Amino acid sequence: MIRTVVFDWGNTVMRDYGTPGPMAFWPEVGAIDGVQAALEAVAARHEIALGTNSDSDEAQVRRALARVGLDHFFEKIFVSAAIGAEKPSPAFFRAVLNGLDSLPEEIVMVGDSYENDVRGAAAAGLWTVWYNPANQAAPDGGTQHYAQISAMNSLPFVLNRLEMWVERLGRHRRTP
């Protein structure tokens, strides 16, 4: 059973314009196209968390999310600055697992960075969905992702398919 979906923040939930300083104080912020509808659909069945390598603290992350009306979706936020470790570090994902009080196979990580979000989460035993709007080839022929999406509106379908597969074959089988 998939209990929680953890989203990366920059360029997965919100656009990273590369402006210096905390996103909460940027003159312009924006959500990724289709992310609100995806979050609404996912929230109907799963807990939603956020895991980010941001220098911002949780309050600043929530403030930035509030600016685009997305803060209420995220039950928990894991910030590398507070954890003391960044993705793809095993320490970051251990903190997420401990904070969610979940087994790795009950969590899906959704993110745009193959190295940080996909490889890091897969090494920790989490399911992974690579958000890849540019449809780039996986680095080094990477196969650590369960699924790849180029648009957020595909995410609910992919999660439903993953959940059915996990229920049918058992949570310990890792390869679809």
Residue 161 backbone phi and psi in degrees, to 5: -65, -45
Domains and CATH numbers, the chain: 4-169 (3.40.50.1000)
Residue 138 backbone phi and psi in degrees, to 5: -65, 135
pLDDT at 163 over 60: yes
Average pLDDT score over the chain:
94
Q: How far is CA 32 from CA 8, 64, 91, 92, 133, in A?
A: 12, 13, 28, 24, 10
Q: pTM for the whole thing? A: 0.95
pLDDT at 162 over 60: yes
Query: Count of CB atoms within 10 A of residue 137's CB?
Result: 9
**pLDDT (tens digit, 9 = 90+) per residue, 68-107?**
999 999 999 999 999 999 999 999 999 999 999 999 999 9
Lowest mean pLDDT among 87-91, 158-162, 166-170: 166-170
